[in-house]
């Protein structure tokens, strides 16, 4: 009888994270732009649990005056390179692979998702961070068969770096 009562009380999924963990996940996400996938791995829960936790905690933080500051918003790779050059900061560039399901049989480009590095089906993304680890840019994904240097060329990163930072006082 007591088992039936426990199930009948309340509705919806139960939280797999206590409030302190939900708050910590939201703060780490907001401060370091850590992805929901990474946070899910750290906390040992599903990505949707992290997404729900952040969605619940952000309004609570906003009600108490804790909002994300409207600081520098860098939308393009050129803006990131200009920002790093103008501020004299060092940027870190890294290509990363994300495993994906194999495309359906019969699809013409099925083999183009196979990564040479990991020998698995993957998509690649190029990430640029500052020296403190803050994510400044994350490129759209490309098929896994693309080399990192090719991806950087396609994004125009090599040309932007070859041109160098704008001279001081250049209002670009």
Q: Write b or e for each residue in 92-103: b if 16 or more Cβ atoms lie within 10 A of its Cβ, otherwise e.
A: ebebebeeeeee
Question: What's the sign of the alpha-carbon dihedral 112, 118, 119, 120?
Answer: negative
> Which of the two residues, 143 and 19, has the higher pLDDT score?
19
What band does 53 get if pLDDT is binned at 50, 70 and 90? very high
CA distances from residue 54 to 36, 57, 61 in whole angstroms, order as listed: 9, 5, 10
Tokens describing residue 18: 């206590």
The stretch 24-39 carries a mean pLDDT of: 85
Stronger pLDDT, 59 or 65, i.e. the higher one: 59
Q: How large a percentage of the chain has pLDDT more than 90?
A: 9
Tens digits of per-residue pLDDT, 117-152? Answer: 656 777 788 888 888 777 788 888 777 777 788 888
Residue 168: pLDDT over 50? yes
H or E segment at 86?
helix 77-87
End-to-end CA distance of the chain: 73
Tokens 């952000």, located at residue: 58
pLDDT (0 to 100) of residue 49 = 92
């Amino acid at each position: 009888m007591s088992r039936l009562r426990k199930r009948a009380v309340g509705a919806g999924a139960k939280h797999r994270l206590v409030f302190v963990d939900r708050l910590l996940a939201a703060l780490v996400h907001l401060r370091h732009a850590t992805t929901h996938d990474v946070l899910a791995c750290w906390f040992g829960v599903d990505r949707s649990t992290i997404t729900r936790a952040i969605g619940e905690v952000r309004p609570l933080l906003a009600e108490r005056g804790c909002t994300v500051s409207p600081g520098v918003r860098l939308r393009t790779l050129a803006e990131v390179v200009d920002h790093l050059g103008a501020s004299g900061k060092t940027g870190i560039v890294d290509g990363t692979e994300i495993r994906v399901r194999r495309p359906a049989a019969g699809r013409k480009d099925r083999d183009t998702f196979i990564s040479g590095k990991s020998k698995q089906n993957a998509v690649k993304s190029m990430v640029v961070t500052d020296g403190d680890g803050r994510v400044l840019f994350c490129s759209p994904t490309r098929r896994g068969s693309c080399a990192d240097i090719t991806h950087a060329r396609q994004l125009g990163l090599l040309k932007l770096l070859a041109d160098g930072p704008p001279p001081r006082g250049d209002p670009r």
